[in-house]
Amino acid sequence: MPYQQAPPALANQYEDDRVLRSYLARVCPRETLSEIEPSLFEMGRLAGAELYELQLADRLNEPRLTQWDAWGNRIDKIEVTPLWQLAERIAAEHGVVATAYEGKHGSLSRVHQCALAYLFTPSTDIYSCPLAMTDGAAQTLIASGNQELIERAVPHLTTREPSEFWTAGQWMTELTGGSDVGSSETIAKQEPGDAAGQFRLYGRKWFTSAIASQIALTLARPEGNPLGSRGLALFYMETRDDHGRPHNIEINRLKDKLGTRKVPTAELTLNGTPARLVMGATDGVRNITPLLNITRLWNGISAVSLMRRGLALAFDYATKRVAFGSTLSEKALHVDTLMGLQAEAEAAFQLAFYVAELTGRHEAGEPDEHDAWLLRVLTPVMKLITAKQAVSVASEVLEAFGGAGYVEDTGLPVLLRDSQVLPIWEGTTNVLALDTLRAIGATQSIAPLLATVDRLFESLHDANLIALSRVALAALNHAENWLRDAQAADRSLLEAGARRFALTLGRAIELALLIRHAQWSQDHEQDRQATNSARRFAQSAVDLIVDHS
Ligand SMILES: Cc1cc2nc3c(=O)[nH]c(=O)nc-3n(C[C@H](O)[C@H](O)[C@H](O)COP(=O)(O)OP(=O)(O)OC[C@H]3O[C@@H](n4cnc5c(N)ncnc54)[C@H](O)[C@@H]3O)c2cc1C
């Protein structure tokens, strides 16, 4: 018989996920866990079976823009792929957004929702993108206190009923900048007869993902407002008119992108698009912050979920691929390579879900000042570090398949292409590193983070883990000293080191969280796998800071 290669396969993606299950067992009271687990088993089943199969079958389909009908009418119709159509229904029915708003489990509702998103994301071709913005738009509208808009949109954004479900876009980036949005050129005009708060927007938006969404939150400068970010206002718009056509919006083209190719990302022109002020006629960038915090959380959850998918496939393949007389799973070096990636993914997981916990506590009105500081600082840190890890893990995952990892119809290369967007959108690594410095702001010190890590280590008693904890503490102390010296020195030194500083914070807190979990897992599950991951992670580069002299 000639050699036949069995493809990698996926089991139930919840049942099979030691890291997720062990984490939930630690953070959830037993009763909560038994209430949420059926939904996770079901999503894990879908993700490993129907959705994954459809994803492979749907590989070559892409969204389509039809600008004109046969009779010369401008229609700008967007058709999304079959998997995206199904994903919308499944996301609504399974509450991938709604769970966070139903609040059945208090602050843990956010953790439950993130667990659903983590299982759903890798099998649905980045449908997480519109869901993230939908969740962020709901948060932003709720935070705005604009009762009319809350009543109009939030029930649609947070429903489980597919026919009622709306998704939202976030239209910020213009040709002038995605990072530097303060230079946006879109103008908001009030015309005779327009009601108070009602404007028409004129301008070009350069990256607008999930263009098929029913609503969008966007930024524009009311006529007469000053230049810069303060002069921008936050607007709410419904993207279609009564005939279902883009409402005074011309979709100029869809972007031809490296990855996220199922996400319709458009360049468009606003030609007097009706829009309503969300809260005040200035400070739009500040007012849209709740949306960015949520999309950054989703970015981190997506990063860990894509790492998990790559590794689930790679570990399975290792049991099926034979080289030099035995399976790859019997080659010490191949296993060592995969375990190194597993350590990265596991550390990233702990941080992404820790930020989900902090977010949940914030939403439930529970956080003290300390938690609020942590959430503000760790959101950009978590987003930037997990995105970088996702790209590097995806690249190694492809290599773990040899030539097959480079071949499109295995469905593997898309993991790398899709991961590569994670460090770019929702704030690039540098932009978020600078945001981390801003977040630390008045404190001028990471003392609250050091205090948190001390608390995480309080119940350590395994000698190996205690030794590893010193690596995290040393990195954080180095970061604290560097920050103090850089603040006293030239501003450009502080800026130049911001990325290494933020990456170091990210890796150190990941290690600390992983060590804390490893101790729990030893004590409650008699399992040393997380300990092994912590040991590997501690021996990778944690401290990336370069001193000034
Ligand atoms: C697939 C995709 C979908 C997207 N969808 C949307 C969407 O739906 N809505 C939306 O609003 N935007 C969207 N974007 C845009 C995205 O958010 C921006 O591209 C991103 O924020 C970066 O902005 P920019 O392209 O202007 O890059 P620039 O800001 O020009 O950045 C170029 C480089 O300069 C660095 N840099 C910038 N400022 C500084 C600084 N002060 N110090 C040091 N380094 C700096 C950056 O880190 C980067 O490496 C999407 C982008 C992609 C790729």
String of DSSP letters for 311-357? HHHHHHHHTT-EETTEEGGG-HHHHHHHHHHHHHHHHHHHHHHHHHH
- Cβ–ligand 1 distance for 349 under 6 Å, the answer no
Could you tell me where the beta strands, DSSP code E, fall in 80-191?
168-171, 187-189
Ligand 1 atom closest to Cα of residue 205: 11
- Cβ–ligand 1 distance for 315 under 6 Å, the answer no
Residue 184 CA to ligand 1 center (angstroms) comes to 13
| pTM score of the predicted model | 0.98
Asked whether 179 and 427 are in contact (CB, 8 A), the reply is yes
- Cβ–ligand 1 distance for 167 under 6 Å, the answer no
CA nearest neighbour of 84 among 42, 118, 128, 43: 128
- Cβ–ligand 1 distance for 182 under 6 Å, the answer no
Give the pLDDT of the chain (549 residues) as one tens digit per residue.
889 999 999 999 999 999 999 999 999 999 999 999 999 999 999 999 999 999 999 999 999 999 999 999 999 999 999 999 999 999 999 999 999 999 999 999 999 999 999 999 999 999 999 999 999 999 999 999 999 999 999 999 999 999 999 999 999 999 998 999 999 999 999 988 888 889 999 999 999 998 999 999 999 999 999 999 999 999 999 999 988 889 999 999 999 999 999 999 999 999 999 999 999 999 999 999 999 999 999 999 999 999 999 999 999 999 999 999 999 999 999 999 999 999 999 999 999 999 999 999 999 987 689 999 999 999 999 999 999 999 999 999 999 999 999 999 999 999 999 999 999 999 999 999 999 999 998 889 999 999 999 999 999 999 999 999 999 999 999 999 999 999 998 889 999 999 999 999 999 999 999 999 999 999 999 999 999 999 999 999 999 999 876
CA distances from 12 to 436, 463, 538 (A): 37, 35, 30
- Cβ–ligand 1 distance for 424 under 6 Å, the answer yes
- Cβ–ligand 1 distance for 258 under 6 Å, the answer no
Ligand 1 atom closest to Cα of residue 133: 8
Ligand 1 atom closest to Cα of residue 209: 8
Residue 292 CA to ligand 1 center (angstroms) comes to 13
- Cβ–ligand 1 distance for 124 under 6 Å, the answer no
Residue 177 CA to ligand 1 center (angstroms) comes to 7
Whose alpha carbon is nearest atom 52 of ligand 1?
Answer: 425
Whose alpha carbon is nearest atom 28 of ligand 1?
Answer: 179
Mutate to test the pocket of ligand 1, among 414, 428, 495 (most ligand atoms within 8 A of CB): 428
Please name the amino acid found at residue 278: V
User: Which residues, in sequence order, are bridge partners of residue 79?
Assistant: 64
CA nearest neighbour of 516 among 36, 18, 27: 27
- Cβ–ligand 1 distance for 501 under 6 Å, the answer no
Farthest CA pair distance, the chain: 81
Q: How many CA atoms lie within 13 A of 345 on its CB side?
A: 27
- Cβ–ligand 1 distance for 172 under 6 Å, the answer yes
- Cβ–ligand 1 distance for 218 under 6 Å, the answer no
CA distances from 324 to 328, 330, 331, 336, 406 (A): 9, 11, 9, 17, 21
